[in-house]
């Protein structure tokens, strides 16, 4: 059973940095896609950073490109996807979720192709 466990959220002042981690247990096969999504109250969960089994990265909002970096490491069937966030602004405040596609799927902004999710981690950026 695939399980995603996030960590690393918290509160930080504007201009600061955070690193989020997500361990995907029992996640094997390729191609695959691991991604970070974020959600604010009253809005839909939106994709913003994804990485596939070939190492290709995709950032969807232009506001995060250059500030956020997604990377992945692998140890057997366990993969860890990181999100390094720099120059944070209050607009980055959200719950951040890690998502994974079923093996055999490439990345896509379509949230519905991600059946595996973590519980989310809160990131709060204060001005």
Question: What is the average pLDDT value for the chain, to the nearest integer?
Answer: 94
- With pLDDT > 70 as the criterion, what percentage of the chain qualifies? 100
User: Is the model's pLDDT at 28 over the cut of 80?
Assistant: yes
Nearest one of 105, 33, 28, 21 to 74, comparing CA atoms: 28
CA 109, CA 77: separation in Å to the nearest integer?
24
| pLDDT at residue 38 in the model | 94
CB atoms within 10 A of CB 99: 23
Question: 41-94, pLDDT tens digit by residue?
Answer: 999 999 989 999 999 999 887 778 789 999 999 988 899 999 999 999 999 999
How large a percentage of the chain has pLDDT more than 90? 86
């Amino acid at each position: 059973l695939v399980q995603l466990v996030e960590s690393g959220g918290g509160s930080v002042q504007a201009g600061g940095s955070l690193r989020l981690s997500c361990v995907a247990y029992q996640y094997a096969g390729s191609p695959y896609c691991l991604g970070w999504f974020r959600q604010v109250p009253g809005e839909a969960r939106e994709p913003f950073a994804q990485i596939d089994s070939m190492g290709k990265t995709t950032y969807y909002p232009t506001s995060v490109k250059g500030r956020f970096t997604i990377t992945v490491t692998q140890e057997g069937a366990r993969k860890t996807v990181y999100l390094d966030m720099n120059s944070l602004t209050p607009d980055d405040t959200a719950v951040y979720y890690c998502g994974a596609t079923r093996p055999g799927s490439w990345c896509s902004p379509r949230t519905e192709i991600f059946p595996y999710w973590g519980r989310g981690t809160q990131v709060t950026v204060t001005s």
